[in-house]
Amino acid sequence: MSEDVWILGIHMTKFGKHPDKDAVDLAAEAARAALADGGVTMRDMGILAAGNLMNAAAGIGQMLQKQIGQTGIPVYNVANACATGATALRTAVMAIKAGEVDYGLAVGVEKLAGAGLLGAGGRTGGSEGKHYEPSGRYGAIAGTDGRIGTATMPGTFAQVGMEYGHKYEGVSFELFARISEKNHAHSTLNPLAAYTKKMTLDEIMSDVMIAYPNTRPMCSANCDGAAAAVVVSDSKLKTLSLEQRRRAVKISASVLTTDPWEEACQVLPDVNTLTRNAARQAYEAAGVGPDDLDLVELHDCFATAELVHYDNLMLCEEGGAADFFNSGAPWRDGSKPVNVSGGLQSKGHPISATGIANVWEVATHLRGEAGERQIEGAQVGLAHVIGLGSACGVHILEKAG
């Protein structure tokens, strides 16, 4: 039986615009801070997993080593859509569970400020010309956002939300806006968020419509940022100081899934099935259920996505996402706080950093170090990300001792 794995140190940079720093600078900032947070150095690490999507071919891991220490360890460069950071973390976790190393460092970083609308494959939409020119494999088959769509993330997730609304009662434009209202309110307590402005329901609903029912404030914010985590084996953790053991956070489940074959998802990405599968596997691995969670950081790339993931993560009964939100449960002072960081809509979404940043938020609450936004008595939390293509990462974390 493979031993438990713990988060020893973790950090996320301030998300936003960093014109004076490149991706390597941001990654180095997060990595050094995570190492310091864990009370270890680069010399202790046995593996580095580095995630970066927009410049995946550049070998971000090796470039990062040149700033934080070239110790000859194996480097895995990871690119897995919006699940890139979670995949990097899982790569380090698997190396420890395999018994190959005692320590691992996972980093996710992206420079996205000013990137505009991203295509369904994680790329900017369109060609360099004035119109779209189909080419290659994806020019020969139906687009990934449906037979009539925008070829952008907002179009895809607009359809995801509308599909849920057609299937179940109580879903409306105003409901999606209220989800966004919640997340913008939560962001005011997060100094690392890209945007910390509270917005009224009217401001959200009256803003520029990007893809109905998502207005601009209901969309994730492209920005720059990085996050990093140091993970350690259970046996090594037992040899460390009392303070290191006290602040360690147990990774009770680390799960990554992709789409099972379904006819419908050959046209419209099915963000639901692989998320539900990942959640089910994670709950089983951790030996907990949705009722045991004290907080959740889920992938609200759009307000529509947050609603459907209430259902997919089984925070409510099937079809009950609208009632779940209307009950007040996902607010910070509710029974099941969701995205107390402000979520991707406010905290920001530097793609490859998000998977680890969501873990950082949960871990910070479990440590009791979240300041004004602290969820009191938090013992168990879940972090979720999904990237179209598709990939879903779910991590369940537990407080030490």
CA angle at 91 for the pair 87 and 95, rounded to the nearest 5°: 165
Whole-angstrom CA distances from 224 to 101, 288, 349 are 31, 34, 8
Instruction: Please name which of 79, 101, 132 lies closest in space to residue 352, comparing C-alpha atoms.
Output: 79
Q: How far apart are CA 52 and CA 112, in angstroms?
A: 11
CATH class of 5-114+222-399: alpha beta
C-beta of residue 264 within 8 angstroms of C-beta of residue 364: no
DSSP classification of residue 330: T
| AA identity, residue 337 | P
Beta strands in 5-112 (DSSP E): 5-12, 48-51, 75-78, 103-110
Spatial distance between the Cα atoms of 182 and 336, rounded to a whole number of angstroms: 13
8 A C-beta contact, residue 313 and residue 272: no
pLDDT of 135: 60
Look up residue 44 and give its DSSP letter.
G
| Dist. CA 349–CA 221, nearest whole Å | 6
The pairing of strands 75-78 and 5-12 is unpaired
Residues in the chain with pLDDT values less than 50: 120-129, 132, 141-142, 144-145, 147
DSSP 8-state symbol, 4? P
Q: What pLDDT sits at residue 117?
A: 56
**Beta bridge mates, 256:** 393
Give DSSP secondary structure letters for 179-203. Answer: HHHHHHHHHTT-TTSS------HHH
Specify the pLDDT at position 143: 53
Q: Is 310 in contact with 316 (CB distance < 8 Å)?
A: yes
Q: At what angle do helices 303-312 and 173-187 cross, to 10 degrees?
A: 90
- For residue range 295-336, what is the model confidence (pLDDT) as tens digits? 999 999 999 999 999 999 999 999 999 999 999 999 999 999
Question: How far is C-alpha 46 from the geometric centre of its chain's CA atoms?
Answer: 25
For residue 113, the model assigns a pLDDT of: 82
Q: Say how far residue 78 (Cα) sits from the centre of its chain.
A: 15
The pLDDT value given to residue 269: 77
Predicted local confidence at residue 134, as pLDDT: 55
H or E element, residue 345: helix 343-346
Distance CA 14, CA 348 (A): 10
Tokens 């939390």 sit at which residue?
381
Side-chain half-sphere CA neighbours of 266 within 13 A: 6
In a 10 Å sphere around its CB, with 0-12 CB exposed, 13-18 middle and 19+ buried, how is residue 45 labelled? buried
Helix 84-97 with 351-366: angle, nearest 10 deg: 60
Cα distance between residue 111 and residue 16, in whole Å: 9
